[in-house]
């Protein structure tokens, strides 16, 4: 398992997967920079007229309804259809689901279309599974441990790898449950770190598609990469502004050996 998830980083950088990001306006530039630094290629193609066509040529697709418009909702529906037609991996990041009715209805509908992975905080995952009401805006009010049942339910229902972010990340698939300890609290003080994690999950899934690396390990690799970068950035900075720059640099500089030393992984 360990060798498998770590080798995903080299595959990512060798293949430079093209990631279509239908994501919120607040984080577009930051997410694009994260993907570039990690070794992927971002494309923010989200219009209804183009999103399905692009999903068929992209290596992976991110669906993140963080700041949705009617047009973007349609673009997301079209992109999912395009991804399904081409067998393109796609990731659902259910931002603030549970707190607002329209996005909750949207996420509840598209999750039944079997995303390759679902990535969110504990309250978002609990709400998406129908076991809770959501958090406080984009902030979780549930613990990661409390989201275990919801993650398992979603994995069984959809076949997706379900990842729950927190002080210790949880990655659940139909056959495995993995806990990852990495990262730094400063990640919570820079907008876009969580949303860019969803983009990087898509990148790793796109890069490893057709290899012997499982979707579970691809999702784990994305979380380890982000977490290790957060730890390095915290060592090099003292405030959120400098942390954001150091975080991008760390994503670029990290190798799999360093990631292994900075992350603690346990299988449950």
Residue set of the binding site for ATP: 119, 165
- Cβ of 114: how many Cβ atoms within 10 Å? 14
Binding residues for substrate: 44, 192
Quick one: tokens of 159? 């076949």
Binding residues: 44, 119, 165, 192
- DSSP 3-state assignment of 162? strand
Q: Which residues of 195-225 are buried (b: 16+ CB within 10 A; e: fewer)?
A: bbbbbbbbbbbbbbbeeebbbbbbbbbbbbb
Quick one: tokens of 24? 């919120």
Angle at 202 between CA 163 and CA 183, to 5 degrees: 50
Phi-psi region of 209 (alpha: psi -120 to 50; beta: other; left: phi over 0): beta
């Amino acid at each position: 398992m360990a060798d498998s998830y770590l080798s995903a980083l080299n595959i990512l950088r060798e293949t430079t997967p093209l990631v279509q990001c239908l994501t919120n306006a607040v984080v577009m530039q930051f997410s694009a920079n994260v993907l570039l630094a990690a070794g992927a290629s971002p494309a923010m193609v989200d219009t209804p007229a183009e999103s399905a066509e692009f999903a068929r040529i992209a290596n992976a697709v991110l669906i993140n309804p963080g700041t949705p418009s009617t047009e973007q909702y349609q673009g997301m529906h079209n992109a999912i259809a395009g991804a399904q037609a081409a067998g393109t991996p796609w990731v659902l990041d259910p931002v603030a689901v549970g707190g607002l009715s329209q996005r909750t209805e949207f996420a509840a509908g598209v999750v039944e279309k079997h995303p390759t992975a679902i990535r969110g905080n504990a309250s978002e995952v609990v709400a998406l599974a129908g076991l809770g009401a959501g958090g406080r805006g984009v902030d979780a009010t549930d613990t990661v441990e409390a989201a275990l049942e919801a993650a398992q339910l979603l994995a069984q229902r959809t076949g997706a790898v379900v990842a729950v972010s927190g002080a210790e990340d949880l990655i659940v698939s139909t056959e495995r449950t993995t806990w990852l300890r990495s990262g730094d609290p400063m990640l919570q003080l820079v907008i876009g770190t969580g949303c860019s994690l969803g983009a990087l999950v898509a990148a790793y899934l796109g890069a490893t598609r057709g290899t012997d690396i499982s979707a579970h390990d691809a999702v784990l690799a994305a979380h380890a990469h982000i977490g290790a970068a957060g730890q390095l950035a915290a060592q090099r900075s003292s405030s959120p502004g400098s942390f954001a720059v150091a975080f991008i640099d760390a994503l670029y500089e990290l190798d799999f050996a360093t990631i292994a030393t900075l992350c603690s992984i346990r299988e449950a």
